[in-house]
Amino acid sequence: MPDRLGPPRDTPLFERITLIGLGLIGSSIARAARHLNLAGTLVAADASPEVTVRVRELGLADIATTDAAEAAAGADLVVLCVPVGAYGAVAEAIAPHLKPGAIVSDVGSVKGAAFAQLAPHMPAGVHLVPAHPVAGTEYSGPDAGFATLFIDRWSILTPPEDADPAAINAVRGFWRALGSNVEVMTAQHHDLVLAITSHVPHLIAYNIVGTAADLEEVTQSEVIKFSAGGFRDFTRIAASDPTMWRDVFLNNKEAVLEMLGRFNEDLAALQRAIRWGDGQALFDLFTRTRAIRRNIIAVGQETTEPDFGRRRGGDGDGQ
């Protein structure tokens, strides 16, 4: 286990933690939580029997079951790590079994819809504190996870206005323990920001790889042969999980459509610049975007040490 995760705690953060969904994110949390001794008892629930078998083989939890309701009973912290489209069904199943004072959180890439699907099911006395670790890869499943995934990454909490401050602090402490920096914002703001920084970029990658594959002249073999350039980076992102990303777009519709509108306008301006030979406009934009990239790298070097586990999942930036 990498040193950078730090030593295990003497006393667990939570007596009982239940993770629902043991794919890339759930299994990464499980690996780190086990190493760090964050849970007295770590319970894993996944709808797929194959995943629960794998969780047992990998020793990721004390208990592994396909029954989310049974798994949630008695938990102090329940974290949904399933695609956002499954939230309503999971919330309905676990709600009657949640103990008073329990905290329910999640890791979903969309926050407004997450809250809308979870909140109506939450019994009085249960605290809902949604969260989103802005860290991942294009891989899925329990074998794809790794304990260092969240180190030096942002985790965004989107508690409702009337959320219990102690519950917010407990979730903040959980993500801090996993190595993340934590920021709190509204779900609406989160969805707007992530639409342009994560959701639209994924849509562009899905689209450009689809367009290239459809071109008659560009056969599949040429796509592979010449994908050493920028296109290769797009193919990594376009390999991301279809179920998860379908749910992201269906559940962050308004913000994604707003950002796509702006994107299309800017693309039309670039099209015009090329058509009319406006080299200055192209040069100015490319200079501005190069500075942004260099600034991102510089900030990363100041605040992070060299990555190791982060790259395990992929051959790109791993994020």
Binding partner of 319, given ligand NAI, ligand ENO, none, CB within 5-8 angstroms per partner class: ligand ENO
| 3-state SS assignment for residue 132 | strand
191 part of the interface to ligand NAI, by CB under 6 A: no
CB of residue 38 vs ligand ENO: minimum separation in angstroms? 21
Positions in the binding site for ligand ENO (CB under 6 A): 109, 134-138, 198, 237, 319
| 3-state SS assignment for residue 248 | helix
CB of residue 148 vs ligand ENO: minimum separation in angstroms? 15
CA distance 58 to 135: 22
109 part of the interface to ligand NAI, by CB under 6 A: yes
Tokens 């993340």 map to which residue?
Answer: 180
Q: Determine contact, residues 308/149, Cβ cutoff 8 Å.
A: no
Binding partner of 198, given ligand NAI, ligand ENO, none, CB within 5-8 angstroms per partner class: ligand ENO
Query: Which CB sits closer to ligand ENO, 270 or 299?
Result: 299
309 part of the interface to ligand NAI, by CB under 6 A: no
**Pairing relationship of beta strands 77-80 and 14-20 according to DSSP bridges:** parallel
Which residues 11-30 are close enough to bind ligand NAI by CB under 6 A? 20-26
Which residues 43-62 are close enough to bind ligand NAI by CB under 6 A? 45-48, 51
Applying CB under 6 A, which of residues 112, 133, 309, 314 lies at the interface with ligand NAI?
Answer: 133
CB of residue 223 vs ligand ENO: minimum separation in angstroms? 20
Query: Which CB sits closer to ligand ENO, 7 or 230?
Result: 230
CA distance 136 to 138: 7
Which residues 75-104 are close enough to bind ligand NAI by CB under 6 A? 81-84, 86, 89-90
Instruction: Determine whether 96 is exposed, middle or buried from the number of CB atoms within 10 Å of its CB (0-12, 13-18, 19+).
Output: exposed
CA distance 185 to 187: 7
Query: Which CB sits closer to ligand NAI, 98 or 107?
Result: 107
**HSE of 226 in the Cβ direction (CA atoms, 13 Å)?**
8
140 part of the interface to ligand NAI, by CB under 6 A: yes
**Pairing relationship of beta strands 39-45 and 131-133 according to DSSP bridges:** unpaired
Determine phi and psi for 285, rounding to 5 degrees: -65, -45
CB of residue 248 vs ligand ENO: minimum separation in angstroms? 7
158 part of the interface to ligand NAI, by CB under 6 A: no
Written as one letter, the residue type at 62 is D
Helix (H) / strand (E) element for 156: namely: strand 154-157
Structure tokens, 294:
């260099």
Instruction: Determine whether 92 is exposed, middle or buried from the number of CB atoms within 10 Å of its CB (0-12, 13-18, 19+).
Output: middle
Query: Which CB sits closer to ligand ENO, 142 or 318?
Result: 318
CB of residue 280 vs ligand ENO: minimum separation in angstroms? 32
CB of residue 66 vs ligand NAI: minimum separation in angstroms? 8
Smallest Cα–Cα separation from 119: which of 134, 109, 105, 138? 105
* Binding stretches for ligand NAI (CB under 6 A): 20-26, 45-48, 51, 68, 81-84, 86, 89-90, 107-109, 133, 136-137, 140-141, 241, 244, 248
